Amino acid sequence: MIHCCIVFYDMMEKIVFCQKGVSSMDERLRTLQAEVEEEQALRRKRNSLEVEYRSLCSYERELAVLCQKGQEDVARMEQGSVRNLFTKVTGKYGEALAQEQAEAAETETKYQKVQREIAQMEDTLRQLDKRIGELSSSQVRYDAYILQRAEELEGAGTDSGMKDLQARIRTLEEQERTLLEKRNRLADVRWEVRNVLGILEDAAGYGRWDAGRGSLLSSFLKQERVQKAKEAMIGLQEAVKRAKDVEDKQLSAAQDHLQEARRQRGWDIFLDNILIDWSVQDEIEMALARLHHFSGALEEKERVILGELQRNRAEQEILQKQWKDSVAQL
């Protein structure tokens, strides 16, 4: 009988201890959640107030200019001028001066009011910054506590869903890395395209000059740029190969146009005439059009990749939040 009482007492003591532990844990969790929510709310409030503050400061500067102008207008009225002489002769000087003084006083009143509002806002912003500083990293503390709780649950044999979350996050992170690699390779291609386009734009400029006021020099400079563009195309084609999934038909067509423009080099420089100038210029313009089309396709492809990256990161955030909320309820 005594033994049974001792066992029962030990069991009750453990239950009470566990309840105290859970209660303490729940209290800590509620405190951390409240701090996270407060910090987020204060940051939103501060951002909104910052916009209002900047707008009010801009209005203050406008009023300062108007105050200065009003004071100068009153001073001119009091000192006398041709206009003042006319108002005095017509008997309206006193009325005009009173009106200027009233307008200046009204502007000054508005200016002082805005200054007081700005001072109040600055005080509120300082208070917000102080409290946000006190709550700084509340999300980090909350996340660390949730992780600690999940590990304790796992250690006690309760599935917190952490392993499943980690597996799903790893899959998404791998997808993210793949997308980032694609984006980086695409950025290399876009840089090479801009390089070739810049050289070809120069060639087209010299071509227009050559067709209008043709000379040996303009023909030589035009052909020299076409040759540089051909050489730059090699780097572009290598970048396209590294990107793997970039369509290069437009590049092949642009390369053909450059080859044709270069083929006419001798005729263009030494037997310079308007027909040859037009023919070479047409090839350059066609190459430019092909490359601009190619560049547009790259931009669209990059937009698609960026959209996929945003969705991937959003999904990671949603999964993590759902898991944290789930652990908080266990």
Nearest Cα residue to 203 out of 187, 225, 188, 230: 225
> Of the residues 115, 144, 159, which one is the last residue of a structural domain?
159
Per-residue pLDDT for 90 more than 60? no
Residue 109: per-residue pLDDT: 87
Same domain (yes/no): 265, 220: yes
Q: What is the pLDDT of residue 81?
A: 54
Structural domain ending residue among the three candidates 143, 159, 175: 159
Question: Considering only 55-64, 201-210, 299-308, which range has the smallest mean pLDDT?
Answer: 201-210
Specify whether 284 is located in the same domain as 321: yes
Question: What band does 22 get if pLDDT is binned at 50, 70 and 90?
Answer: very low
Same domain as 322, residue 175: yes
Report how many domains make up the chain: 2
Does the pLDDT value for residue 91 go beyond 80? Answer: no
State how far the alpha carbon of 91 is from the alpha carbons of 6, 88, 94, 193, 200, in Å: 112, 5, 8, 76, 75
Burial of 328 (0-12, 13-18, 19+ CB in 10 A): middle
Give 211-236 pLDDT, tens digit per residue: 656 566 666 677 777 778 888 888 88
- pLDDT over threshold 80, residue 79: no
User: What per-residue confidence (pLDDT) applies to 82?
Assistant: 47
- Residue range 271-281: average pLDDT? 64
Are 325 and 185 members of one domain? Answer: yes
Cα separations (Å) of 308 from 180, 182, 188, 302? 10, 11, 19, 10
| 14: confidence class by pLDDT, cuts 50, 70, 90 | very low
d(CA 6, CA 12): 10
Q: Do both 154 and 187 map to the same domain? A: no
318 shares its domain with 170: yes
Task: Pick from 65-69, 118-122, 293-297 the range whose average pLDDT is largest.
Answer: 118-122
Q: 125: pLDDT confidence band, cut at 50, 70 and 90?
A: very high
Listed residue (321, 116, 298) closest to 196, CA to CA: 298
What span, in angstroms and rounded, lies between the C-alpha atoms of 222 and 153? 74
Residues 150 and 183 in one domain: no
Q: Are 294 and 189 in contact (CB under 8 A)?
A: no
Same domain? For 106 and 179 the reply is no
Residues 6+ apart with CB under 8 A from 140: none
Domain range spanning residue 73? 2-159
Quick one: average pLDDT of 200-210? 73
Distance CA 297, CA 293 (A): 6
**Are both 232 and 137 inside the same structural domain?**
no
Altogether, the residues listed in the chain come to a count of 330
Candidate from 16-25, 136-145, 249-258, 263-272 with smallest mean pLDDT: 16-25
CA dist 257 and 28 (Å) reads: 72
Tell me the pLDDT band of 89, cut-offs 50, 70 and 90: very low
Quick check: 67 and 103 in contact, CB under 8 A? Answer: no
Q: pLDDT exceeding 70 applies to what percent of the chain?
A: 74
Neighbours of 144 (CB within 10 A): 12
How far is Cα 53 from Cα 273, in angstroms, rounded to an integer?
Answer: 66
Tell whether 169 and 308 lie within a shared domain. yes
Q: What CA–CA distance (Å, rounded) separates 263 from 280?
A: 9
**Average pLDDT, integer, range 132-143:** 88
Structure tokens of 33? Answer: 């959640």
Q: Among the three residues 117, 132, 159, which one is the final residue of a domain in this structure? A: 159
Q: What is the pLDDT of residues 142-194, one digit of tens each?
A: 888 888 888 888 788 877 787 888 888 889 989 999 999 988 988 888 888 88
Whole-number pLDDT of residue 149 = 84
Does residue 86 share a domain with residue 48? yes
pLDDT at 199: 83
pLDDT at 15: 34
Half-sphere exposure of 157 (CA within 13 A, CB side): 0
List, for residues 47-64, the tens digit of each pLDDT value: 999 999 999 899 889 888
CA distance 9 to 47: 57
CATH of the domain at 246: 1.20.120.660
As a whole number, mean pLDDT of residues 99-118 equals 86
By CB atoms closer than 10 A (0-12, 13-18, 19+), residue 74 is middle
- Do 84 and 207 have their domain in common? no
In this predicted structure, the answer to whether residue 330 has a pLDDT above a threshold of 80 is no
Calculate mean pLDDT across residues 270-282.
63
Separation of alpha carbons 255 and 287, rounded Å: 7
